[in-house]
Amino acid sequence: MAVTLAFDVYGTLIDTHGLVAMLKGMVGDRAAEFSRTWRERQLEYAFRRALMQNYVPFSVCTAQALDHTCTLYKTPLRPDQRTALLDAYRTLPAFPDVADGLARLRAAGFRLYAFSNGTKAAVRTLLDAAGIADLFLGVISTDDVRSFKPDPAVYSHFLGAAGATDAETWLVSSNPFDVIGALSAGWRAAWVRRSSEALFDPWGLAPTVTVTDLRDLAAAIAP
């Protein structure tokens, strides 16, 4: 059976900091810092909800993280600005290497799935807006099991939904917590190091491969 690749979406395929230019018109020169904090809180809220087993859709984590970040930075948004940001978050841009990298992997015979904390509808909207939806066999969401990565249950759910086994499945992610979660579940994992400043957690687990560009992934994981 062909190797299955489970692609994280937010931060790996889609640039979660793609709204910095928009944020500059709302929060000024702290836009990049604001965006980083928003993303950190979004993930933190997902982790905490998974641990508490108090699930809400990822979009709620995103909205609540935005509200927290506004309070932290003492930059209240008007209701129309808040709505505009959350609407724009549904159509964030893909990274420049994504379309070509995915096309090369598909041409090489890999089975490609999007695997995300976002709901299927939210992820399909993102992939459609980025023009890459047709490169995937499907979208598999942690929403199906009402939890978030790196809960072991979500990696198990992926295998069942994709009709794959852990021995033939790779996670592809820029998020170290996700890579470690997949490795802990018995998968192989490719870390997409999208910044030279990105650090991998010193947990005694290392990515199976590391790339900085998705266009290099097919060669890196070829048998």
Could you tell me the mean pLDDT of each successive run of 10 residues in the chain, 223 residues long?
94 97 96 98 98 98 98 96 97 97 96 98 97 98 98 98 95 98 97 96 97 96 81
AA identity, residue 111: R
Q: 20-89, superfamily in CATH?
A: Putative phosphatase; domain 2 (1.10.150.240)
Model pTM greater than 0.75? yes
Q: What is the pLDDT of residue 1?
A: 67
Burial track 74-88 (b if 16+ CB lie within 10 A, e otherwise): ebebeeebbebbeee
Cis ω before 76 (30° cut-off from 0): no
8 is catalytic: yes
Within the chain, which residue ranges are assigned CATH 1.10.150.240? 20-89
Active-site entry in 8, 97, 143, 178: 8
Which CATH code is given to the segment(s) 4-15+92-221? 3.40.50.1000
CA distance 33 to 30: 5
CA distance 110 to 24: 40
Q: What is the pLDDT of residue 222?
A: 81
